[in-house]
Amino acid sequence: MPELRRDPITGRWIIINNDSPKGPDFYKSVPSPKKAGVCAFCNGNEKMTPPEIMAYSKHKREKNTPGWDVRVVPNKFPALQIEGDLNRVGIGVFDLMNGVGAHEVIIDTPNHESEIADRDESQIRDMLWAYRDRSLDLRKDKRFKYILIFKNYGFTAGASLDHPHSQLIALPFAPKRVVGEIEGAEKYFGYRERCVYCDMIRQELQEKELTITENKSFLSFTPFVSRFPYETWIIPKEHVSDFPQIQVEGINDLASIFKDTLSRIKKLLNDPAYNYILHSTPLDDLARDDYHWHIEIMPRITRVAGFEWGTGFYINPTPPELAAKTLREAK
Amino acid sequence: MPELRRDPITGRWIIINNDSPKGPDFYKSVPSPKKAGVCAFCNGNEKMTPPEIMAYSKHKREKNTPGWDVRVVPNKFPALQIEGDLNRVGIGVFDLMNGVGAHEVIIDTPNHESEIADRDESQIRDMLWAYRDRSLDLRKDKRFKYILIFKNYGFTAGASLDHPHSQLIALPFAPKRVVGEIEGAEKYFGYRERCVYCDMIRQELQEKELTITENKSFLSFTPFVSRFPYETWIIPKEHVSDFPQIQVEGINDLASIFKDTLSRIKKLLNDPAYNYILHSTPLDDLARDDYHWHIEIMPRITRVAGFEWGTGFYINPTPPELAAKTLREAK
């Protein structure tokens, strides 16, 4: 069973893989993109994945058969296991938990070649509805405190399969950076009684220097304190802390700005690898006045030096104002 | 002038390069290791670097001439500038400072081919004395609150030159992760009145499961909560918060355990790229009861997925007990 360990200094939880631990030989060969012969995520190959958790389809179909639009399956190599108790113990200065959680793969589309930038908006909407529906289902399990939705696109971003897919991890704790965001937002709210994200949005809607694009519900922009070149956030203009409260109009506007933004990044930076992560409120408080859900997109175009991990201190060679300007012009 | 920007949410400071901003074309080509024709860091090429700040030599020599053992020069492409005032201002919700600081390159040795694992201990000692002496000199400048010493070894770790070198950055703030460590250590000290690092060391000296190697003054081990496979820390057994208080015996023991540890990593993992960072106490409080300086070594053998940056949540496929065992056996 995977193991959750807590750092007594920073409070960070990490997952240790105890079931198939990787020894030195695993790391000795230089990694390279795998070329799959047959893709387990393509239409018609449903038997190659673990049994599906959910799928959308425009017509009636049997489970694990072709004809779906979005399909959700358990991760074949899960970082966490769904069965079991958390069973929290201490070992000297350290805390330990069983690695209980969920790790699912959302197969965005049956089309092997259709990354978000090239996809019909209706397909992007299906993917976003799956994000919402899986979140709402998993949060019924009271062991889970956080649901993390993300995508690794391209080999250097960590993707090990080409077929467009997203991942969902349900965790028995909120991840460190989200906790940090919430603590910071809470402090800001404490003396201003306003959401810091709402203030940032208001400031940007006046100044427009960091805006890439916007529509009725969303703003797409490069944060003033971008850690990475071309880091891009998509954020709802109205205050909402909990992503799954999104409604039809929100999904439609999000699909549209998502496609527009990722198309600009693809065009400007030559189809770079990227990661995105959806930051939503932890499950123990769904209606926070001080927190604001958003999506962070990070193109993987620089080698991040280890000292940036080791310090949390970033040097960004591209001013976000320049990034926004060039992304506005890329169309 | 570079610009320091502070994130109102997390409190993170970042550096934006305003002097030679990198536009989209900079990122379009796939990066690859540069092959230098003539190496500016080699003996005899002293005129190719900015004028030296300091050098050690066994015999009398003119500045910027051959015959040195360690040589320190300003970084040719500094992330921060030494001249100027901090000039802190607010722009709406954001804080802004001039990018005042120092960015130096420590040329570890005149020998182009001598990484730490292969080097004489006397050469490693010289490098460590340079770390100490530059720290002591720079901390006289009261604008600086933190001195960061690190090394990027190998292309994937961010090194852009082959010649063995380290870097030093003096900052007008303590970096986020160090602040986080100190806050956590402070909290731990608050209810136990003991240093959390000392407790970890005591626990490890009894259990020995994470130990790679040790000598009189230092312990080399894989942390129980390792974020990365084969993450390794070197820490003084005695409580000291401030690295530059190290004395002759400490430097000798550190050079010896550093070489031993990095030799094992080189052998076991096939000469991987790595980063190391020296974590010492911020300059505003040099003698902390709750903080303990140490060196963190991170081999760069996995593609870190962006969601790990975006969440501060790590999945480590190699249990640190296995990492320690195989590193103990690699000799």
CA distance A157 to A272: 9
Query: Which ipTM was obtained for this model?
Result: 0.89
Is residue A236 over pLDDT 90?
A: yes
Q: Measured between alpha carbons, how far is B215 from B77 in angstroms, rounded to an integer?
A: 38
The pLDDT tens digits for A315-330 are: 888 999 999 999 999 9
* Same domain, yes or no: B205 and B275: yes
Question: Is a pLDDT exceeding 70 seen at residue A219?
Answer: yes
pTM of the predicted model, to two decimals? 0.92
Amino acid letter for position B259: K
Residue A84 lies in a domain: yes
Q: Do A318 and B93 touch (CB under 8 A)?
A: no
Task: Please indicate whether, in this complex, the C-beta atoms of A310 and B277 are within 8 angstroms of each other.
Answer: yes
Same domain membership, residue B84 and residue B7:
yes
Q: What would the pLDDT profile of A58-89 be if each residue is shown by its tens digit?
A: 999 999 999 999 999 999 888 888 888 888 88
Which residues share a beta bridge with B103?
B169
Q: CA A268, CA B94: separation in Å to the nearest integer?
A: 28
Q: Which of A18-32, A80-94, B56-70, B83-97 has the highest mean pLDDT?
A: B56-70
Query: What percent of chain A has pLDDT above 70?
Result: 96
Mean pLDDT value of segment B15-29: 80
The reported pLDDT for the residue numbered A298 is 93
Q: Do A319 and B16 touch (CB under 8 A)?
A: yes
Most A CBs within 10 A among B230, B297, B311, B331, hence the mutation to make, goes to B311
pLDDT score at B85: 84
Residue A119 structural domain: 3-22+34-176
CB atoms within 10 A of CB A21: 16
Compare all CA atoms of chain B with the CA of A79 and give the residue at the minimum distance: B315
- Last residue of a domain, which of A176, A197, A223? A176
Is residue A222, in this structure, part of any structural domain at all?
Answer: yes
pLDDT in tens, B27-48: 776 566 666 689 999 999 999 9
Q: Is the pLDDT of residue A275 over 80?
A: yes
Q: Specify if A27 maps to a domain.
A: no
Task: Count Cβ–Cβ pairs < 8 Å, chain A vs chain B.
Answer: 283
List, for residues B76-107, the tens digit of each pLDDT value. Answer: 888 888 888 888 888 888 888 888 999 999 99
Nearest CB to A27 within list B156, B157, B229: B229
Name which of A139-143, A194-198, B175-179, B205-209 the model is least confident about.
B175-179
Whether pLDDT at B261 is above 70: yes
In a domain, A29, yes or no: no
Query: Is there a domain that residue A28 lies in?
Result: no
Residues in chain B within 8 Å Cβ distance of A188: 8-9
Angle at A10 between CA A9 and CA A16, to 5 degrees: 95
- Res A312 pLDDT > 80: no
B259 and B155 housed in the same domain: no
Whether residue B10 and residue A181 make contact (CB cut-off 8 A), yes or no, is yes
pLDDT band of B328, cuts 50, 70, 90: very high
Contact B23 A318 (CB under 8 A): yes
With a cut of 80, say whether residue A182 has pLDDT above it: yes
- A175 contacts on B by Cβ (under 8 Å): 311-313
Are both B163 and B199 inside the same structural domain? no
Nearest CB to A316 within list B15, B199, B276: B15
User: Same domain for A18 and A143?
Assistant: yes
Mean per-residue pLDDT of chain B: 92
Of these ranges, A168-182, B56-70, B154-168, the one predicted with the greatest mean pLDDT is B56-70
Distance from CA of A200 to the nearest CA of B (A): 7
- Chain A residues within an 8 Å CB radius of B18: 319
Residues B189 and B156 in one domain: no
Examine the pLDDT at B306 and tell me if it is beyond 80: no
Just list the catalytic residues of A. 165
Cα separations in angstroms, B278 against A44, B37, B228: 53, 31, 17
Q: Indicate if the pLDDT at residue A31 is higher than 80.
A: no
Specify the number of domains making up chain B. Answer: 2
B229 and B217 co-located in one domain: yes
Nearest of B38, B170, B33, B161 to residue B108 by alpha carbon: B161
Query: Do B29 and B167 belong together in one domain?
Result: yes
- Tell me which of A151-165, B58-72, B81-95 is least confident: B81-95
Of the partner residues A180, A225, A272, the one whose CB lies closest to the CB of residue B94: A225
**Strands A146-153 and A274-279: what pairing?**
antiparallel
What's the token pair of residue A231?
């880091």
Catalytic pick among B103, B163, B165, B292: B165
* pLDDT at site B8: 82
Least confident of A255-264, B54-63, B156-165: B156-165
User: Dihedral through CA A253, CA A257, CA A258, CA A264, nearest 10?
Assistant: 170
Check residue A305 and give its pLDDT.
66
Compare all CA atoms of chain B with the CA of A146 and give the residue at the minimum distance. Answer: B311
Average pLDDT value over all residues in chain A = 92
> Does residue B68 carry a pLDDT above 90?
yes
Cα–Cα–Cα angle for A173, A176, A182, nearest 5°?
95
Shortest CA distance from B29: residue in chain A: A270
Does the distance separating the beta carbons of A200 and B158 come in below 8 Å? Answer: no
Residue A238 belongs to a domain: yes
Q: Is B239 a catalytic residue?
A: no
Same domain, B165 and B201: no
Residue B309 pLDDT exceeds 80: no
User: Across the interface, do A21 and B322 touch by the CB < 8 Å criterion?
Assistant: yes
DSSP state of A100: B
Mean pLDDT lowest among A14-28, A165-179, A193-207, A282-296? A14-28
* CATH at residue A70: 3.30.428.10
Residues A118 and A255 in one domain: no
Neighbour tally for A30: CB within 10 Å: 8
Same domain, B166 and B28: yes
Q: Which residues of A fall within a CB distance of 8 Å from B177? A: 10, 310-313
User: Do B75 and B204 sit in the same domain of this protein?
Assistant: no
- Residue at a domain's end among A176, A204, A231: A176
Spatial separation of the C-alpha atoms in residues B91 and B4, rounded to whole Å: 12
Placement of tokens 């360690």 in the chain: B70
Answer with the one of A127, A144, A176 that is the final residue of a domain: A176
SS3 content of chain A, % helix, strand, coil (to 5): 30, 25, 45
Per DSSP, B73 falls in state: E
Predicted confidence at residue B110, as pLDDT, reads 96
